[in-house]
Amino acid sequence: MKALIFDCDGVLVDTERDGHRVAFNRAFSQQGLKVEWSVELYGDLLAISGGKERMRHYFERRGWPSGVVEEGRDAFIRELHARKTDLFMRIIDSGELPLRSGVARIVDEAIGAGVQLAVCSTSNERSVNLIVEKLLGPHRTANFSEILAGDIVQHKKPDPEIYNLARERLGVSAQDCVVVEDNRNGLLAAKAAGMTCLVTTSAYSAEEDFSEADHVVAELGDPPDAMLTLSEIVCLSPPCSGRKANGTGNNQ
């Protein structure tokens, strides 16, 4: 393994239920919309990658707000998503949402071992950068070779475009990369790019089908709880992928 690539939401921090969902609802309220995404509804909407795409999908099926004409829908979505991003960044900046267990430890081990680090996310670029900088700190952030997010690619997960771009930017082959994802769309993107994929399940994704994953765990973990070491993650990829890491297997 020459590169360790993290998704952001659900992997670095469990943001979806109490971060993004809350920010969407606050944005709807500030816009005067009678829309509220429940915990259950938002779980269903997560099948759509990308916040702007998620809102468009919702409004196309539930009906657009009155006054939003067809030719103005793109601008409406952009403006509403910008408002939501500002609200989400306030949540992150407040420190309400912590890093997931084991993330800082694995990042430190990777830095010590000279493994390249990257983030590949379909979320807004501003919010992804804030999560990395705020929660991982300046020293760790400085060791990330690439932070790819938002609309940097045309096609979002499960399309492999963002992982193919990361491979090119990092100057490594697909078989030298291990991706850490938390949901099926991300898993499919990583595997379509020819990369090894470790899944750390999140609050919304625990029941998804991860049969294509190279390994599945509830979290990376910190002592004294069950955890994966960097060397065990390395052995998920060729040439030692025959040795499974100590964990829960492929279908937790």
Identify which of 132, 80, 107, 98 has the alpha carbon closest to the alpha carbon of residue 19.
Answer: 98
User: Catalytic: which of 9, 159, 182, 214?
Assistant: 9
Verify whether residue 9 is a known catalytic residue: yes
Q: What is the DSSP string of the chain?
A: --EEEE-SBTTTB--IIIIIHHHHHHHHHHTT------HHHHHHHTTS-SHHHHHHHHHHHH-PPTT--GGGHHHHHHHHHHHHHHHHHHHHHTT-SPPPTTHHHHHHHHHHHT-EEEEE-SS-HHHHHHHIIIIIHHHHHHTEEEEE-GGGSSS-TTSTHHHHHHHHHHT--GGGEEEEESSHHHHHHHHHTT-EEEEE--TTTTTS--TT-SEEES----TTS----HHHHHTTSTTSTTS--SSS-S--
Verify whether residue 7 is a known catalytic residue: yes
Residues with a known catalytic role? 7, 9
